[in-house]
Amino acid sequence: MKNIKLGLIGCGRISTKHFEAIEKIENAEIIACCDIIKQKAEEKANQFNIKEIYENYKEMLDNVKMDAVIIATPSGIHPDIGIDVAKKKINVITEKPMATSLDKADKLIYACDENKVNLFVVKQNRLNPPIRLLKNAIDKGRFGRIYSGSIIVHWTRPQAYYDMADWRGTWEFDGGAFLNQASHYFDLLYWLIGPVESVMAITNTIAHTIEVEDQGVGIIKFRNGALGSVDVSMNTYPKNLEGSITIIGEKGTVKVGGIAVNKIEVWEFKDYNDDDKYVFEADTNPLDVYGFGHLGYLKNVIDVLNGKAKASTDGRSGRKSLEIILAMYRSAKTGKIVNLPL
Ligand SMILES: NC(=O)c1ccc[n+]([C@@H]2O[C@H](COP(=O)([O-])OP(=O)(O)OC[C@H]3O[C@@H](n4cnc5c(N)ncnc54)[C@H](O)[C@@H]3O)[C@@H](O)[C@H]2O)c1
């Protein structure tokens, strides 16, 4: 029986991943979808057999009985929509980043607390098989002390990508290469290594006509003493080259790379563990940088709603990478080291 009924707001590019994933989950279905451009909602409704379509999400919330709503609109409006969803006592699933400011992220978290609904932030890369193995290795203490963690996101985004919609490349609705494209990677650094003490960054906009940065480098000091580095560019010629994380510890070194943390490139530990047998089976080969993770992520959401699991990424966990990135933006603006919490 399909006991979890969902709605979806924002029928653009990423919504396809949600529609496809929910189709594959036995006990869940999307029963209504909404887009301010009616044709987009109609297209998805026809393709995925969705019963009801809306142009105004408030009407959808008033008229349709749903357990949860997926928000896949431009990032800057996730919180306002999420707060309206929460006020209807409906669980909120928001695409990443959950907001473009901490103030709005906090308002969304409090609205979900107040209305006693779950807040899920989509961070599907945590569920990539190579990343799960890496997380297990950390949880089992296989690295010993962690010395450093670094992320590289060397992708390419042509000007046409930013010109596709007015919200792209703006501070208010999108954020730059750190907040949009690299936000999963910042999330992994925090999730794998732990709380951040301070950051520094330099960013610039070198190859595109946009408000936000198209490249940036940053340094992190973690509270446990580890150091982190961040190297992000949307200007890689001629195509996406690498999306990786490297962790160096006292007794181990791991690099998960490929174009989107989908391939184990280095797996070295002093001590053997049975997990080592799975390392070369763990590669996935996604067709795009979004990967396959939406299915796993949404399965977890449905399990949480059925009382069978703990959330893979809740609102407070989703907020961490936002805070680190906003601290980097502050550093890039002031030229100073920025201490956390902000
Ligand atoms: N998890 C991931 O890896 C991943 C990947 C890509 C995008 N995203 C995120 O998904 C979100 C959407 O990205 P996209 O690439 O699909 O963008 P998009 O521009 O293709 O789609 C956004 C859609 O929202 C609609 N919309 C705007 N305001 C609305 C409103 N008030 N009510 C209803 N619909 C509204 C637009 O008409 C558009 O169809 C962004 O926050 C982005 O960061 C996440």
Domain ranges of the chain: 4-124+294-314, 128-269+321-339
92 within 8 A of 6, measured Cβ to Cβ: no
CA 72 – ligand 1 centroid, Å: 4
pLDDT, position 293: 84
Q: Quick one: which of 209, 206, 204 has its CA closest to 168?
A: 209
CA 69/CA 56 separation, integer angstroms: 14
Query: Per-block average pLDDT, block size 10, for the chain (342 residues)?
Result: 90 97 96 98 98 98 98 98 98 98 98 98 93 96 98 98 98 98 98 98 98 98 98 98 98 96 95 89 63 86 95 96 98 98 96
> Could you tell me which CATH class the domain 4-124+294-314 is placed in?
alpha beta
- CATH number of the 128-269+321-339 domain: 3.30.360.10
pLDDT, position 15: 98
pLDDT, position 151: 98
pLDDT, position 289: 56
Pocket of ligand 1 (CB under 6 A): 9-15, 34-37, 40, 57, 72-75, 77, 95-96, 122, 124, 165, 180, 290
CB atoms within 10 A of CB 171: 15
108 within 8 A of 115, measured Cβ to Cβ: no
pLDDT, position 56: 98
CA 10 – ligand 1 centroid, Å: 6
CB atoms within 10 A of CB 20: 14
CA 68 – ligand 1 centroid, Å: 17
pLDDT, position 288: 61
Using a cut of 0.85, tell me whether the model's pTM lies above it.
Answer: yes
Helices (H) and strands (E) in the chain, counts: 10, 14
pLDDT, position 279: 85
